[in-house]
Amino acid sequence: MSEESASREALAAVRSAIRPDGPEDEAAIAARARSRARRRRILVNLSRALTLLFVIGGWELFTDLKIVDPFFFGQPSAIWAQLRDWFEHGTAFGSIWLQIWVTLKEALLGFLYGVGGGIVLGILLGQNRFLADVLGPYIKVMNAIPRIVLGSIFVVWLGLGTTSKVALAAVLVFFVVFFNAFQGVREVDRNLLANARVLGASRLQVTRHVILPSALTWIIASLHVAFGFAVIGAIVGEFLGAQQGLGVVISSAQGTLNADGVFAAMLIIAVVALTAEFLIDRLERRLLAWRPPSPSEASSV
Partner 1 sequence: MAVENPTRSALPLAGPTAARAGSQPGGIRLAGVTKRFLTPSGEAFTALRDVDLTVEPGQFCAVVGPTGCGKSTTLTLVSGLDRPNAGTVAVGDRRVDGISPGIGFVFQADALLPWKTVLANVALGPIFHGVPKRQARAAARDWLRRVGLAGFEDHHPHQLSGGMRKRVGLAAALINEPSVLLMDEPFGALDVQTKAIMSNELLALWEQTRPSVIFVTHDLEEAIALADRVVVMTVGPGTVKGVYDIDLPRPRGAVQEIRFEPRFLELHRQIWESLREEVERAYARTASIDGEETR
Least distance from partner 1 to the Cβ atom of residue 201, Å: 4
79 vs 206, beta carbon nearer partner 1: 206
Least distance from partner 1 to the Cβ atom of residue 61, Å: 53
137 vs 293, beta carbon nearer partner 1: 293
Least distance from partner 1 to the Cβ atom of residue 188, Å: 11
Least distance from partner 1 to the Cβ atom of residue 226, Å: 22
Q: Directed axis angle between helix 150-158 and helix 162-186, to 10°?
A: 130
Helix (H, G, I), strand (E, B) or coil at 294: coil
CA 299 to chain centre: 25
Least distance from partner 1 to the Cβ atom of residue 199, Å: 5
Three-state secondary structure of 195-217: HHHHCCCCHHHHHHHHHHHHHHH
- Binding region for partner 1 (CB under 8 A): 191-192, 194-202, 205, 209-210, 213-214, 216, 288, 290-292
191 vs 256, beta carbon nearer partner 1: 191
At 262, which amino acid appears? V
Least distance from partner 1 to the Cβ atom of residue 212, Å: 10
Contacts (Cβ under 8 Å, ≥6 apart) of 265: 246, 249, 250, 253
148 vs 216, beta carbon nearer partner 1: 216
218 vs 239, beta carbon nearer partner 1: 218
CA 253 – CA 96 distance, rounded (Å): 14
146 vs 200, beta carbon nearer partner 1: 200
Nearest one of 110, 155, 129, 164 to 276, comparing CA atoms: 110
Other CB atoms within 10 Å distance of the CB of residue 222 = 24
Residue 94, beta-bridge partner list: 91
Q: How far apart are the first and last CA of the chain?
A: 27
